[in-house]
Amino acid sequence: MARKIVVVGSSNTDMILKLNRIPRPGETILGGEFVTAAGGKGANQAVAAARAGGSVTFVARVGQDMFGEQAVAGFIEHGINVEHVQYDAAPSGVALIFLDDDGENSIGVASGANGNLSPADVRKAETAFSTADVVVMQLETPLDTVQAAADVAVANGSIVILNPAPAQPLPDKLLEKISILTPNETETELLTGITVTDDASCNQAADILLGKGIETVIITLGARGAFVASPELRQFVPGFKVEPIDSTAAGDTFNGALAVALADGVTLAEAVRFANAAGAISVTRMGAQPSAPSRDEIDALLDREMLVAANGDVAKHEPHLHMHTRPREVATAPNGRQ
């Protein structure tokens, strides 16, 4: 199966400093371990989708520098179509990441060439959009470019996933073009004013977002799983119990894997379960793109969990947050794709 995915977004080089804890303002902590890794939310999602089995085209800008050359070489190594990755006069994007012993992180980003990705760049890639099953976007590139990508994707009948990160207010004209919005708790609160703490608040926030014309909302809750809401479905899809090492790009891995599962034509709940598995594996490894699991690894984790469930050993794997809304299954992915 082709599973054609277009990702429009950012490419960064991550510079990671691993410390016992994240420094407070004005504080210096010595003794950290330093590593670099390929990153950027768009690039992370493109690599995650490719490793999960997708045929991926990436639309992006990188600098004419060592970081840009290394990034493009990495995309090619993962089998990603780089025809629409352009070199820019601005430097490549860079992210500076503090990572603590619990796998939590604090990130600052210099956008560089990512800030020059334009609506014209998106329109030049329309041939890729014309055959895409799913288009994935984030918010590390200009908002008018994200809007252009949504417009082109809808015009070509693709499922449109927007990961609204980093968190920022979004216009209704963009949201009404979105098939699936995937905010975390922080992004959900910014977009709705609702603090997500339980099933009631998840439902309340989802109602607000669905009211803006979004077809489906998936509120990601980290290790606990994800809350899925559409006009036909309200369901909590639990996560997987793992020992976290680095949470960097777990959300990006979730979104890339979700795109592939939806392109496969599985039910929405099954697609979220697949994405949860991919995200869980990613937090057990260091780095952004290096942590993205292969399709075989994702399938193996899902198979192991099915065996656990078949043996009746489910209780200890239940997350702390339980949704009381009765689950309902749907037969098709968003936009009616089989």
Annotated domain spans of the chain: 4-20+35-313
pLDDT tens, the chain, 338 aa long = 668 999 999 999 989 899 999 999 999 999 889 988 899 999 999 999 999 999 999 999 999 999 999 999 999 999 999 999 999 999 999 989 898 988 788 888 899 999 999 999 999 999 999 999 999 999 999 999 999 999 999 999 999 999 999 999 999 999 999 999 999 999 999 999 999 999 999 999 999 999 999 999 999 998 899 999 999 889 999 999 899 888 878 999 999 999 999 999 999 999 999 999 999 999 999 888 989 999 999 999 999 888 777 776 544 443 333 333 323 333 333 333 33
Amino acid letter at 112? G
The pLDDT assigned to 332 comes to 33
180: helix, strand or coil:
strand
What are residue 89's phi and psi, to 5 degrees? -70, -25
The four Cα atoms 167, 171, 173, 179 give a dihedral, to 10 degrees, of: 20
- Residue 295 is given by DSSP the state H
Torsion of CA 267, 269, 272, 273, to 10 degrees: -110
**Catalytic residue numbers?**
252
Please, are residues 237 and 289 in contact by the beta-carbon 8 Å criterion? no
Instruction: Give dist(CA 47, CA 7) in Å, integer.
Output: 10
Give dist(CA 135, CA 115) in Å, integer. 20
pTM of the model: 0.87
Tell me whether the omega of the peptide bond preceding residue 166 falls within 30 degrees of 0, making it cis.
yes
Q: What pLDDT is recorded for position 313?
A: 55
CATH of domain 4-20+35-313: 3.40.1190.20
Alpha carbons 134 and 125: distance in angstroms, whole number: 14
Instruction: Look up residue 215 and give its two tokens.
Output: 């077809």
